[in-house]
Amino acid sequence: MKPIVRSYLAEVNLGNVAPGNGQNINIQDYPQLRDIMLTGVEVFESNEIAISPSGKAVVPALNGITLTLLDKFNMEIVYQYPTFDLNPTNTNGFIRDFVPFPLQLTKSYITILDNTLLTLNQSVMINFLYVPLKDWPKYQSFYVRK
């Protein structure tokens, strides 16, 4: 099992209008998630977190929502990964970890493939597991096999 060095719960709000099918919603900038090596991701629905940190309702289901994550070179490292599979409740408690990469958060996004059950001002909660770049040399051996 790999250690969780840092964790940050981010919110992706669906906006003031109900999202349409095929709509991409960018993840906003969080200063804490700049200059990091992403090691894993969890995504939560209202069964785990009822209200977001900003006071918005959390989406009731993750079916029909995907996550795309880009690295600092704007390469799609994770492309349209089903968020349902990123919820530990749906995977017997397992957290999906990735081969670490330097995350470019503001180019990353969620895609609404099926807007059934989604309404305006709901939020998708994404927990990013990471190592700050400045600390990466200290933890690299935990994450990269040689």
pLDDT exceeding 90 applies to what percent of the chain? 88
Rounded to the nearest integer, the mean pLDDT of the chain is 94
pTM of the predicted protein model: 0.94
The count of other CB atoms within 10 Å of the CB of residue 50 is 10
Question: Which residue has 């330097």 as its token pair?
Answer: 102
Residues 129 and 6 sit within 8 Å (Cβ to Cβ): yes
Q: Could you give the count of Cα atoms lying within 13 Å of 57 in the half-sphere of its Cβ? A: 10
Per-residue pLDDT tens digits for 41-85: 999 999 999 999 999 999 999 999 999 999 999 999 999 999 999
Residues whose CB falls within 8 Å of the CB of residue 32, separated by 6 or more in sequence, listed in order: 8
Sequence-ordered list of residues with C-beta below 8 angstroms from that of 138, at least 6 positions apart, any chain: none
